[in-house]
Amino acid sequence: ELETSFMEYAMSVIVSRALPESRDGLKPVHRRVLYGAYTSGLTHDKPYRKSAQIVGHVMGKYHPHGDSAIYETMVRMAQPFSLRYMLIDGHGNFGSIDGDSAAAMRYTEARLSKISAEMLRNIDKDTVDFVDNYDASEQEPVV
């Protein structure tokens, strides 16, 4: 029974967190970073903010799984060589295609890119469903 229980748990984690949603191409952590930056007002036309501030906001409100997973996701969304469109507009050392890692989050700054702002433009008009976050204190978008 232990083997069956473990396999069921592993499959539920893979399906719910590890695989991107086919409708928007995002994993829950991607969606949470974008929505967290959006609710903080960090649009492409506003000044950059410290990455650590964004990570703390996302971790506190939407994603209580540790700061490294959130920052690594944000870094990847800011790299022009990782995604077709950069979803985060990063300022500072966000790594290189040669494998150099990004600077620590206290040294980098970020905000939403123009395309992310366009993705989130009508989110307040019931374009997606919202669910309670991990402690039911906030609502977050779900696809």
User: Which residues are part of the catalytic machinery?
Assistant: 107
* E-strand stretches of 10-108: 49-50, 88-91
Name residue, tokens 């906001």. 57
For tokens 């989110």, what's the residue? 123
Strands, sheet with 49-50, edge to edge from the N-terminal-most edge strand: 49-50, 109-112, 88-91
The CA distance from 80 to 135, in Å, is 34
The SS3 of residue 9 is helix
Q: Which two tokens stand for residue 26?
A: 């995002």
Residue whose tokens read 């719910």: 16
Residue 2 CA, distance from chain mean position: 33
